[in-house]
Amino acid sequence: MRGPVNILRLLRTGATFERTGALAQVFDALKAPPLLQGAIRALVMPFRWMGYAGDPAMPPVTRAITALGPAYVKFGQILSTRPDIVGDDLARQLRILQDRLPPFPTHEARLAVAAELDRPVDSLFSEFSEPVAAASIAQVHRARLLATGEEVAVKVLRPGIEKAFRRDIDAFRFAARILDLFAPPARRLRPLDVIDHFESVVMGELDLRLESAAASEFADSTADDEGFRVPAVRWAYSGRRIMTMDWVEGIGAAEVEAIRAAGHDTEALARRVLQLFLRHALRDGYFHGDMHQGNLKIDADGNLVAYDFGIMGRIDEYTRRVYAEIIIGFIRRDYRRVAEVHFEAGYVPPDRDIDQFAQALRAVGEPIFGMDASRISMGRLLAYLFEVTERFGMQTRTELILLQRTMVVVEGVARMLDPKMNIWDGARPVVEGYIRDSLGPKAFARDLARTAWILARFSPRLPEIARAGLIRTATPPSTWWRPGLPAASFYMAVGAALAILGGLLAGNF
């Protein structure tokens, strides 16, 4: 029965947007063709009565999204950072979704804290405020520890949020199956894989023990980053549905005028937001995956303070190098190298013509570099690049979805702080520094040393591995190996030689 139920949910989505008056605003913001507008309206109009009414006090789009549930709210949060896509008016509406949603009652939060920590709230905190921020998944209370008098932020999951998210994701998955079945050109996007990836990320957000661990790890990896802070986790006051961190005073990143009035340099902050994200992604391979304005504050000293670590991204070292080479290739307008990187990484099928692909990439990059600095957009680049890779048969890379999405979000945050910021100039020093450190002679020596040490560690097993391989392929041993030399001794000698070489390259001898 899930199929019919999901069809009703999708119809209800359209009906809710129609009933709240949000559909017309979305059409205007996205400049939808009249024919498409008419077709969608004709489909949902008979079902208008099914739509949720929402909160009349809210603007239409925000009203519709909040009525539909947490997964829709998450999507709206992303769009709130992109006025270049949805327009300034709609972006301002959607910004409400970041941390100003209707809270649930404080007494329910106190019950959740007591149940999770197995102690009455009054025996843990001398003060426990009304909600100071409420988002799609949880809300935050300001509290004071009874034992030490220190101020903390207590994050509490919304009651029943797990069930609500599973319901919404199930409807998204149904829509992805329909797309996969009836729209063959969209199969290269792997919509089901995309939904699975989204589900894994979001469901991880619903266990605050994992978020606490992510915050702790992120604090360690960014400890030396100047101008950046991660509040400390209070583990004794945290659990699956509760997370407690140090309280930090600051101005929300969306309050640009207040930031300027406090004497902070918004242009420098915009550059820092972008560069810190790239540094975390490229240097550490571990980055904040939900870095919108609602999750950033500026403290009295001008430091960026990050919150909400439920969505964190990881990328392996090889993928980081590929990503960096693609970015630096566009910055340097070396489209041939960008094309080569796509082929080397296997992102584009090997039977396609690399010269034609490089030419298509030039058509992507050159119009962007001809724009005024204030109009250069990495979001626009990704959109154009998407069109080109579709023509050349490139499939969606699920491991890069979060990275690309966060890059778009971070660009939106930087643009809000400094609308005239040149994204490429801001990114260049970080990407070039990473390329220099990870692809230069020192990096080559470091990689070779690491490989040698790994081979040395596994040298006792190399004969067994080689023998198993030879048996599987039924290939006799090569004649270059002297029969009188025992196999184990030969491979141990090779391993020892590689270990010595690795030690020399690593500077250990």
Same domain for 303 and 195, yes or no, is no
Alpha-carbon torsion (122, 123, 129, 132), positive or negative: negative
| Residue 366 and residue 466 in one domain | no
pLDDT digits (tens, 9 = 90+) for 253-304: 989 999 999 999 999 999 999 999 999 998 999 999 888 888 899 999 999 9
What is the identity of the amino acid at 411? Answer: E
| List of long-range contacts for 285-289, beta carbons under 8 Å, 24+ apart | 285/314, 285/315, 285/316, 285/317, 285/320, 286/217, 286/218, 286/221, 286/312, 286/313, 286/314, 287/312, 287/313, 287/403, 287/406, 288/218, 288/312, 288/313, 288/406, 289/201, 289/313, 289/402, 289/405, 289/406
- Does 474 fall in a domain? yes
Looking at residue 423, its pLDDT comes to: 80
Co-location of 330 and 282 in the same domain: yes
pTM equals 0.72
pLDDT in tens, 93-135: 777 776 567 789 999 999 999 999 999 999 999 999 999 988 7
Instruction: Please compute Rg for the chain using Cα positions.
Output: 27
Q: Among residues 203, 236, 269, which one ends one of the domains?
A: 203
Are residues 322 and 336 located together in one domain of the fold? yes
pLDDT at 216 over 70: yes
**In 3D, which of 380, 372, 369 has the Cα closest to residue 421?**
372
Judge if 347 and 473 occupy the same domain: no
* Same domain, yes or no: 407 and 286: yes
- Indicate whether 73 and 89 sit together in one domain: yes
Q: Is residue 17 within 8 Å of 26, Cβ to Cβ? A: yes
Q: What is the dihedral of CA 211, 214, 220, 226, to 10 degrees?
A: -80
pLDDT in tens, 46-96: 888 888 888 888 888 888 888 887 778 877 776 665 565 566 677 777 777
Helices within 158-251 (DSSP H only) = 161-182, 191-205, 208-221
The overall average pLDDT reported for the chain is: 80
Q: Are residues 51 and 85 in the same domain?
A: yes
CA distance 61 to 308: 24
The order of strands in the sheet holding 251-252 is 228-229, 304-306, 296-298, 251-252
According to the model, what pLDDT value does residue 487 have?
Answer: 46
Could you tell me if residue 188 is inside a domain?
yes
Phi, psi of 244 (to 5 degrees): -120, 130
**Tokens of residue 5, six digits:** 């139920």
Share of the chain above pLDDT 90, in %: 29
pLDDT at residue number 460: 78
Domain boundary among 82, 97, 112: 97
Domain count along the chain: 4
Identify the domain boundary among 420, 439, 458.
439
Percentages (nearest 5) of helix, strand, coil residues in the chain: 65, 10, 25
* 9 and 24 fall within a common domain: yes
DSSP state of 311: S
Query: What are the pLDDT digits (tens) for 406-430?
Result: 887 888 889 889 988 888 788 888 8
User: Is 140 contained in some domain?
Assistant: no
Q: Is the pLDDT of residue 494 over 50?
A: no
pLDDT in tens, 307-341: 889 888 888 888 888 888 887 888 788 999 989 98
Looking at the fold, whether 468 and 409 belong to one and the same domain comes out as: no
* Residue 421 in domain: yes
- Which of 245-249, 299-303, 444-448 shows the lowest per-residue confidence on average (mean pLDDT)? 444-448
Residue 314 β-bridge partners: 286
Active site annotation includes 196: no
Query: Do 274 and 394 belong to one domain?
Result: yes
Residue 138 lies in a domain: no
Q: Specify burial of residue 166 (Cβ count, 10 A radius: 0-12, 13-18, 19+).
A: middle
Question: Which residue in the list 99, 168, 225, 290 is annotated as catalytic?
Answer: 290
Higher-confidence residue of 490 and 243: namely 243
Per the model's pLDDT, the better-predicted residue between 165 and 297 turns out to be 297
Give the DSSP H or E segment for 158.
none
Supply the pLDDT for residue 501. Answer: 45
Query: Within a domain: residue 223?
Result: no
| 29: three-class secondary structure by DSSP | helix
Does residue 146 lie within any of the structural domains? no
Stretch 370-391: mean pLDDT: 64
User: What pLDDT is stored for residue 145 in this prediction?
Assistant: 97
Asked if residue 307 and residue 175 are part of one domain, the reply reads: no
Q: How far apart are CA 79 and CA 73, in angstroms?
A: 10
Is pLDDT of 498 > 60? no
170 in a structural domain = yes
Q: Can you give the residue range of the structural domain that contains 389?
A: 250-439
Residue 497: is its pLDDT beyond 50? Answer: no
Q: Distance between CA 325 and CA 455 in Å, rounded?
A: 28
